[in-house]
C-alpha cells in the first residue's frame, strides 16, 4: 500500500476531520456546561439580592407606617382640639390705618400687640387637612429616597 493511494488519503482526511469535529463537539459541550454553572451561580446571587431588597422594602414600609400612625394621632388630636375650641388658629392681619392723630404719650403696650384674626373652624380643619397631606407626602418621599439609596448599595 502506498501513501498516495486515494483510499489511504481519504482515510487520513476523514480521520483528521473526525478528530476536529469530535474536539469541537466536546468543547461546545464543555462550554455549555460551564455557562449553565455560571448562570446558576448568578441566579442564586440575584435571588439573594432580591430577598435582601424585599427585606429592606418591608422595613421601610413598616417604618413609614409607624410614622404615619404617629402623625395621624397628632392630627386627630389637633382636629379634636380645633373642633372643641380648645385650640384656635390665628393669622396676622394688617392693622387698619387710623386717622386719629397720635398723642405725645403712646399707651403702654402690654402683652402681644400683633393684630391677628381667628380662622373659622371649617377653614382651620381644611388647613390641617392640607398640611397633613403635605406632611404625609414628604414622609413618603423621604422613605422612598432612603430606600432607593439603600437598594443602590446592593450592586
Question: Please, which pLDDT band fits residue 112 given cuts at 50, 70 and 90?
Answer: low
Domain span at residue 138? 6-93+114-152
User: Of 60, 58, 53, which Cα lies nearest the Cα of 152?
Assistant: 53
Tens of pLDDT, residues 90-110 = 888 887 776 665 555 555 555
Which position has the grid cell 460551564?
A: 34
Mean pLDDT, residues 111-125 taken together: 80
Is residue 14 in some structural domain?
Answer: yes
* 93 DSSP 8-state letter: -
Q: Between these two residues, 90 and 154, which has the higher pLDDT value?
A: 90
Q: Decide if pLDDT at 79 tops 60.
A: yes
Is residue 46 in some structural domain?
Answer: yes
Is residue 106 in some structural domain?
Answer: no
Q: Decide if pLDDT at 70 tops 70.
A: yes
**How distant, in Å, are the alpha carbons of 62, 65, 144, 148 from that of 56?**
10, 14, 11, 10
Looking at every residue in the chain, the average pLDDT score rounds to 86
- Round to whole Å and give the CA distance between 44 and 79: 52
Is residue 22 in some structural domain?
Answer: yes
In the chain, how many domains are there?
Answer: 1
Torsion of CA 90, 91, 96, 97, to 10 degrees: 130
Is residue 98 in some structural domain?
Answer: no
Is residue 105 in some structural domain?
Answer: no
Amino acid at each position: 500500500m502506498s501513501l498516495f493511494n486515494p483510499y489511504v488519503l481519504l482515510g487520513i482526511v476523514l480521520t483528521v476531520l473526525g478528530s476536529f469535529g469530535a474536539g469541537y463537539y466536546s468543547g461546545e459541550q464543555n462550554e455549555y456546561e460551564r455557562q449553565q454553572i455560571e448562570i446558576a451561580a448568578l441566579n442564586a446571587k440575584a435571588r439573594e439580592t432580591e430577598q435582601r431588597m424585599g427585606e429592606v422594602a418591608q422595613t421601610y414600609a413598616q417604618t413609614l407606617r409607624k410614622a404615619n400612625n404617629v402623625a395621624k394621632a397628632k392630627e386627630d388630636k389637633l382636629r379634636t382640639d380645633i373642633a372643641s375650641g380648645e385650640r384656635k388658629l390665628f393669622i396676622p392681619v394688617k392693622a387698619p390705618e387710623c386717622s386719629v392723630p397720635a398723642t405725645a404719650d403712646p399707651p403702654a403696650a402690654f402683652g402681644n400687640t400683633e393684630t391677628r384674626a381667628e380662622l373659622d373652624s371649617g377653614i382651620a380643619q381644611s388647613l390641617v387637612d392640607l398640611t397633613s397631606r403635605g406632611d404625609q407626602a414628604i414622609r413618603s418621599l423621604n422613605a422612598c429616597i432612603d430606600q432607593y439609596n439603600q437598594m443602590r448599595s446592593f450592586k
